[in-house]
Structure 1
Amino acid sequence: MARIAVFDSGLGSLSIIQEMQKSFKSQIIYFADQQNYPYGKKSQAQLNRIMKKSIKLLHGFSPDFIVVASNTPSLMLNLSTSKIFDVKPPLKEAKKLSKSKHIGILATESAIRSKGMSKYIQKNISKSFKISKINGSKLVDLVESGKFLTEKKFCKKIIKKELKILVQNQIDVVTLSSTHLPFLKKYLEQEFPNIRFIDPGNIVAKKIFLKIKNTQSKRNSLKIFTSGNIKSFQSKLSKIGIKNKVNFLTF
């Protein structure tokens, strides 16, 4: 019976969890660390401290694996082990899809400015490709605030304003390199119909499946915890169809 703990600073984990539940059956412990939102504006030292505490906390549930469902700490820290999965921009897939050889990486402010991002790009992209790192922190806020559910016109306005660079620079593929961003994928595709937006969720889910395929559970189960306001988070989840009880958890 596979038990997997998944965490980030809020709603982002759900984009990974949804892909996991499509790919296999497991017991999932979901920790939305809203007390430390946003990861995207934290320093490397702050993130390192938060990650260590979160991972130690989640080990208390005796998971088989832990998923750090956030690109920012995944890029800024060396977190991946045999028991810990992280999430990074799907550049291999982007290279295959891009015809203009100009790829956009839409990520948080901290992630795009990090040395980890620069090293990751150098390692995975040849000089024949051009990469534009785009600050998507304001788009992440649209998701975590719940505005993507209630203020559609406002969301479209912000997306259009923040992503002018996509049209101006002939970018034809964009990686959604914050786990919050897949919740905006429909908006993005409507505004930029000629651009491919890649969600890494199914890539992460496939990696996990290879590890647990022989120890799957009989059914999916989901236990939800937050370090923030329980009622507020419960309300957001209800609006996207998740009725599971939310419990308080912090370190």
Structure 2
Amino acid sequence: MALGIFDSGVGGLTVWRALRPIMTEHTIYFGDTVHIPYGEKTQEQLVGYFQRALAFFVQRQASAVVVACNTASAVALPRVKEPPVPLFSMIDAAVRQALAVTKGRVGVLATRATTESGVYPKAFQAADPGVEVVSQACPKLAPLIEAGFRRGEMVESAIAEYVTPLLQAQVDTIVLGCTHYPFVLPEIRRQVGPEIHILDPAEEIRAEVAEFLRDRKPECQPGECRTEFWVSGDPWQFRDAVKVLMGLEIPAVQRYHVSGDVM
């Protein structure tokens, strides 16, 4: 058995990085890179992509799946009524994490699809109606990061465009509502200043997964567990992006050919 981690591309690697030190099972990482960017897809497309990803993980005998993609968590996950394996949602983790620190004004940086779904305002309303949520779509960020950009004029300009409305709304907490965004956290921090909480939900997901693993027989020691990397697009492009973004030379990346595509 192995724990599955799913994302549209390299963003889920920020979650994989957070989980590696606590893993006592091997990991299967699947990036649906042929369909990037998820944030610009329709609900029908996203549900189809996610269903095929789940089928892939079941085929690989995953014990559970971390849906390390906010867009999939927001749009597709609610449509799965009887999941074949336990699923971990980035949305739930982010809301819990934010409620622990916010004074009542939360900003969310996310993809267009996540923002338009309204999932974050609804989740905060259900948990604490007193929290005001300001959601900001960031359509340029994930594609820039996927292309290997962590800094530079284009990244700085995009971040300035997206954080300005949150600063004007005087939020006290910002949720990174896409797992790609921790790759540009230093620039986000530089622009918003030290007084605002910036939250990466991967930390909360790590606590959830640790609890899940405590009830299971260890298959490997933390730090020694293997990871299989799979993508639906170009394996070499994925390896290059990982090297640029994380400074890691990952082992062979395998390609999973999706069928019945809704492009």
TM-score (norm 1): 0.90
Report the equivalent of 1:166. Answer: 166
Q: 1:196 matched to which residue of 2?
A: 197
Correspondence for 1:134 = 136
> How far 1:176 sits from its partner (Å)?
0.6
Matched, 1:144 2:146: yes
Check whether the contact 1:23–1:206 (CA below 8 A) recurs between aligned residues.
no
Distance 2:7 2:162 in 1: 24
Instruction: Specify which of 208, 211, 233 is matched with residue 238 of structure 2.
Output: 233
Whether the 8 Å CA contact 2:97–2:201 is kept in 1: the answer is no
1:88 aligns with 2:91: yes
Match of 2:117 in 1: 114
Count of aligned residue pairs for this structure pair:
246
Report if the CA contact (8 A) 1:76-1:117 is conserved: no
Q: Which amino acid aligns with 1:22?
A: P
Percent identity, aligned pairs only, is 23
- SS of corresponding position for 1:250: coil
Shift of 1:132: 0.3
Q: Cα gap change, 1:34/1:158 in structure 2, threshold over 3 Å: closer, same or farther?
A: same
Quote the Cα distance in structure 1 between the aligned partners of 2:242 and 2:145.
12
Given the two structures, how large is their TM-score scaled by the length of structure 2? 0.87
Q: Counterparts of 1:181 and 1:160 in 2: how far apart (Å)?
A: 14
* In the alignment, structure 1 residue 98 sits paired with structure 2 residue 102: yes
Listed one character per residue, the Cα deviations across residues 67-117 of structure 1 (whole Å, up to 9, x for unaligned) are: 221111212232485622221162233233223x21101111011111544
- Secondary structure of the equivalent of 1:131? strand
Q: Once the 2 structures are TM-superposed, how far is the Cα of residue 121 of structure 1 from its aligned partner?
A: 3.0
CA distance, structure 2, for counterparts of residue 122 and residue 75 of structure 1: 15
Q: Is contact 2:115–2:136 with CA below 8 Å preserved after alignment? A: yes
Partners of 2:145 and 2:209 in 1: CA distance = 25
Query: What RMSD in Å do the two structures reach over aligned CA positions?
Result: 1.9
Sort the Cα spacing of 1:25 and 1:152 in 2 relative to 1 into closer, same or farther, 3 A. Answer: farther
- Tell me which residue corresponds to 1:242: 248
Q: Is the 8 Å Cα contact of residues 125 and 131 (structure 2) preserved in structure 1?
A: no
Aligned pair in 2 of structure 1 residues 24, 230: CA closer, same or farther (>3 Å)? closer
> Gapped runs of 5+ residues in structure 2?
259-263
